[in-house]
Chains A and B, each alone.
Chain A
Amino acid sequence: MNKAKKKKMKKEVVWAYLFILVPLSTFIIFTIYPVITSVITSFQKYRPLGSEWVGFSNYVSTFKSSLFYKALKNTAVYTVITVPIGILMSFIVSIMIVPFRKGIQSFFKGAFYLPAIASGVALSFVWKWIYDPLPSGLLNSLLRFFGVSNQNWLGSSKTAMASLIIMAVFGGLGQNIIIYIAALLGIDPTYYEAAEIDGSTFLQKVRYVVWPLVKPTTVFLAITSVINGFQSFQTAYLMTGGGPDNATTMAGLLIFNRAFKYFEYGEACAQALLLAMIIAVFAILQFKVSANDVEY
């Protein structure tokens, strides 16, 4: 390599670092720094006018708290049900939308994506109206036609979690559908033609062509959905407040209450870090199990 080329290369490297500097600074300030601060705070009794070092006591009280385990269990149940149902439904809906011409596709994409841009508070009002517990409630009126008796949707521990899961699945479809449609449109049509020549049925094409080719998208959606599921907070906060009898208290809500209701930031940070570790373990496991044959 001659001198001029080396100089040019060096300049380009400088430019590259300069542009990386902006997102890197953002990452350091808004992600790394808060994480380090939260690690420190998790060993303290946080006080605005001077925190006190308490060692591992925040972790000890977290491990002793039965509510923490209940919240973890609730979060796991919520995630384990929401993620597969959400992915499967969005995959099916995407396959149904893709054959339409562009204008109709856009209409459906917009319609399904609408809940993602709507305010969570506004959505919670709509869902509360749907889940109205009295016989005059929308869902109860509908079910009465089928002979199902009146249900106390959000007030009973038997139905509260299911109600939140239904809300989360329908509310989260839009984003997955947009991503799936992009992946489906990226499949080379010659694969379909070849399958048709071989006499494949529609379901065989889905099973042997589409599903393997969108696997990287599915893995991506599964991992991000699991992370979002474990971090779930808003739905329970707005709809049930964690009740009844903590049947819908998620880890995120527990951490929020610990920090902002009781001002126990140290314990909240300890719980948040433990949750982050659990999420990391799940994400790694998912990569190991389902992403072995996936190339990005």
Chain B
Amino acid sequence: MKRKITAWILATAMTAAMLSGCGGEKAADTSAGAGEAATSAEESEDAVQGQDKEAGTSGEKDVVTALLPPVSATYQDKIMEYVDAFNQENADIQIEVTTASWEDMTQKLDIQVNAGSPPDIAFVGSDGISKYLDLSMIINLNDYLQDELSDFDENVLNYFRNGDGTYGLPAYCEVQCIGGNKEKMEAAGIDWENIQKNGWTYDEFREAIKKGVSTEGDDTCYGFVFACAGVTAKDYFSIFVKNADMPASFDKDLKYAYTSKKMLTFLEDLRALIDDGSMPKELSSVDAGKRWNMMLTGQTMITGKGLSSFERSAYNNNKMLEEGSADAVENSIPVEYIVLPVPVFNGEQHALGAVDGYVCLTGEKNPDQAHLQNVAKAAYYLASGERAAYTCQELYLSPVCESGREEYAKLDPIVDKNEANTACVELLTTQIAEARPDIPAELSAKAIKIEDEVIGPKFQGLLSGEVSPEEMYQAIVDAGHEAFGEEGCVAD
């Protein structure tokens, strides 16, 4: 009898333990095969329910949840201090932050969105708003913020616009360009100061990087190395294509622009840089970490993509080398990082601005207007003033809102900052390709799919010499015609 009772208890405990993880209803809505999605959704819903309960019992605070990545080195720590200050100042709103790594951020957010229970605020790239818009889960901030929107620079804010709606608030606009080793460029006779001010053409760039190639024994220094392994190949394409007279994937008449003959010339030009020997023939396997290592170890004169904050990375490594620290990159040399514009292939100089910021989301819980108002208020708080100033300074960027600029002026200046780089980044910021809120979300989504499924893979093939420029161009034309019809594509 005793044994039976023990067996009963064990069986009950096992069943209870098994079922205890199945309390959420959301799992039912997630698709099969997405076990992780279901679990995360349940966790997320439990968390939200817990927060609601807390709000309900206190009867005072409306809880606003935010999912934030490590935007800059100390962002996640610093933002907690700002959020505490906000929570103290606002008796009726409580911001609750969940932090995640960059790697986890998109996946975590997408799972929560697809489970119908996203956080109220999330930090995303402006290029991602179309997919949330397509799901009808992103809030149009025009309904909740009026004067606050005028705080932001119009062109940068436009990156978060679609049609008449404003679907996010920018935290910064990061110019994505290229960067060089000052000493090596000067040794190759490159007038980098002039290039920073006046830009350079493709032919000038091609000649310059040829001069940067040198070989000593088994060691080769290339003229230019861009990270192209996996998805980073798309960065190379996206950053450079803006300067081939195709600043957006659609022209002003909303015709798909990449079917233009200019694309073929552009692809031939990119391939020529590898054929010249100025870039490694193994380029398609060089990932972001590898190419930065190559920059610091003197294996390349110019690298991409280049961000303003790379100046600080190089500076820190130089410091460690000076101090003889073991933390310095192995076999590295002192590198003074110089920001450089992307060469112009055709048309005007454009820069690619990666605009990231805060979006407000809604799910199955159908929050009331008062809650959405609070969410928008919290999002504006995070994107503006001291928060914007501090984040931008850490990233070596200029704030994109007036309140941020005011606070930025009050911060202690960055020690040993290269002023020529600062001026170059400011100039490039004025050349950022115009945002295109006129492109409907549906067209945008189709263009992104072509980029992911055709341009990305074919471009990798082009870089490894297995796909010719003509083949890649034809694949883009075919995909464009299939997605938008011949009349929906540029034909020249």
Contacts and interface: CB of A to CB of B under 8 A. Distances in A.
A265 B114 contact: yes
A230 interface: no
B474 to A, nearest CB: 13
Contacts of A35: 32
Given A19-B11, A48-B364, A155 B453 contact: no
Contacts of B230: 240-241, 243
Interface string B285-296: 111001000000
A37 B30 CA distance: 8
Nearest to B26: A48
Nearest to A141: B218
Contacts of B34: 34, 259, 265
Contacts of A255: 33
Give the one of A47, A244, A246, A259 with max B CB within 10 A. A244
Interface string A133-155: 11110000000000000101111
Interface residues of A, number: 55
A244 B457 contact: yes
A67 interface: yes
A26 B285 contact: no
Interface stretch (B200-208, B368-376, B388-396, B462-470): B462-470
Given A155-B285, A260-B107, A135 B35 contact: no
B116 interface: yes
A47 B34 CA distance: 15
B18 A269 contact: no
B282 A150 contact: yes
Contact of A30 (B35, B457, B463): B35
19 contacts: A15-B4, A34-B33, A35-B32, A48-B29, A48-B114, A49-B363, A134-B286, A155-B282, A155-B283, A155-B463, A156-B284, A243-B457, A244-B457, A245-B458, A259-B34, A263-B110, A263-B114, A263-B135, A269-B32
A221 interface: no
B466 A134 contact: no
Contacts of B438: none
B33 A269 contact: yes
A244 to B, nearest CB: 4
Interface in A150-169: 150, 152-158
Given A25-B18, A49-B363, A37 B31 contact: yes
Given A34-B33, A262-B449, A268-B33, 16 more contacts: A21-B11, A46-B114, A48-B137, A49-B116, A49-B136, A134-B286, A155-B464, A243-B233, A244-B463, A259-B33, A260-B107, A262-B445, A263-B110, A263-B114, A265-B114, A269-B31
A31 B466 CA distance: 43
B19 interface: yes
B281 to A, nearest CB: 7
B377 to A, nearest CB: 24
A38 B31 contact: yes
B334 to A, nearest CB: 21
A102 interface: no
B423 interface: no
Contacts of B466: 156-158, 244-245
A259 B7 CA distance: 43
B275 to A, nearest CB: 15
A255 B32 CA distance: 12
Given A26-B18, A48-B363, A263-B135, A154 B113 contact: no
Nearest to A262: B449
Nearest to B233: A243
A44 B461 CA distance: 35
A134 B452 contact: no
Contacts, number: 147
A150 B456 CA distance: 24
B255 to A, nearest CB: 23
B476 interface: no
A22 B18 contact: yes
A94 to B, nearest CB: 33
B22 interface: yes
A157 B461 contact: yes
Nearest to B282: A133
Contact of A152 (B18, B114, B281, B467): B281
Contact of B457 (A36, A150, A246, A272): A246
A261 interface: yes
Interface in A217-245: 240-245
A41 interface: yes
Contacts of B411: none
A28 B395 CA distance: 50
Given A25-B15, A152-B285, A261-B452, A49 B110 contact: no
Interface string B18-57: 1100100000111111110010000000000000000000
Contact of B31 (A46, A136, A246): A46
A18 interface: yes
Interface string A36-77: 111101000011110000000000000000010000000000
Contact of B28 (A21, A37, A260): A37
A81 interface: no
Contacts of A48: 29, 113-116, 135, 137, 363-364
**A-B residue pairs, 5 tightest by C-beta:** A38-B32, A155-B285, A155-B284, A133-B282, A245-B461
B461 A244 contact: yes
A133 B286 contact: yes
B131 interface: yes
B14 interface: yes
Contacts of A268: 31, 33
A67 B363 CA distance: 33
A91 to B, nearest CB: 33
Contacts of A30: 35
A134 B18 contact: no
B231 interface: yes
A29 interface: yes
Contact of B364 (A26, A49, A134, A157): A49
A263 B31 contact: no
Nearest to B7: A15
A172 B109 CA distance: 32
Interface in A247-262: 249, 255, 257, 259-262
Nearest to B15: A22
A203 to B, nearest CB: 42
Contacts of B22: 29
B32 A272 contact: yes
B460 interface: yes
Contacts of B286: 133-134
